[in-house]
Structure 1
């Protein structure tokens, strides 16, 4: 009886140690990604090859870019519904501004200009086809 109880406790401890953290952890993003406009929205330039792993290593905190992330669960991408899914460049939460707003240190271009490193011109991110 004691052996069965002990075995059950060990199994329960192992399940808690290995399975539970995976339930609350965010899905690991690929090291390299291709950024495209949300479905139904047209991009005038080519999609952008994005080294997510490099940015993740530099910034450490997901909330720098993913400002709606609450620390657990999956991290939503910029083009997710309710985030930067507005087509008009004039909209505050437009898909375009998420990457090109020079005044925002959270946008790609704004951060690159503020840090004085990384690509800053159209052709640096959007290669010709």
Structure 2
């Protein structure tokens, strides 16, 4: 009997561990863009659902948003999706590379203006919860 209880305990522990790991691996918290680098914000963080955005915009190529530049030139087909924007963009602009806040705004707004679809005014992205 003791052996059966031990096996049951091990089985339940493994199931719980796998369940918790699966939940955290497959659930992205994409509801809000969170960047600690900015410190205290003047406006609320931007509401953003990654999957919903890509579905509506019919985006399949991650490098459209998650770009890579080398020597100031866009590297076609390369993606930085595994990196935070702050890994490359510092708070302040460096030469032709925009600062972090400007990088976000240019990346999003320029695409929305070009496609004539999507928010471009401050209050359309930075919505109070």
TM bucket (normalised to shorter chain) is 0.5 to 0.7
Question: Which residue in the other structure is 2:91 paired with?
Answer: 87
- Consecutive unaligned residues of structure 1, counting only runs of 5 or more, are 1-26, 102-106
Question: Which residue in the other structure is 2:115 paired with?
Answer: 115
**Which residue among 41, 44, 51 is the counterpart of 1:46?**
44
Structure 2: distance between partners of 1:116 and 1:74: 25
Question: Which residue in the other structure is 1:55 paired with?
Answer: 53
Question: Larger helix proportion, structure 1 or 2?
Answer: 2
Q: Is the 8 A contact 2:47 2:127 kept in 1?
A: no
- Which TM-score applies when normalising by structure 1? 0.57
- Which TM-score applies when normalising by structure 2? 0.57
**Which residue among 77, 83, 87 is the counterpart of 1:76?**
83
30-39 or 43-52: which moved more?
30-39
The alignment covers a number of residue pairs equal to: 93
Question: Which residue in the other structure is 1:36 paired with?
Answer: 34
Q: Is the 8 A contact 1:112 1:118 kept in 2?
A: yes
Structure 1: distance between partners of 2:98 and 2:112: 19
**Using CA pairs below 8 Å that are at least 6 residues apart, which structure has the higher relative contact order?**
2
Q: Is the 8 A contact 2:91 2:100 kept in 1?
A: yes
- Consecutive unaligned residues of structure 2, counting only runs of 5 or more, are 1-24, 69-76
Q: CA RMSD in A?
A: 2.9
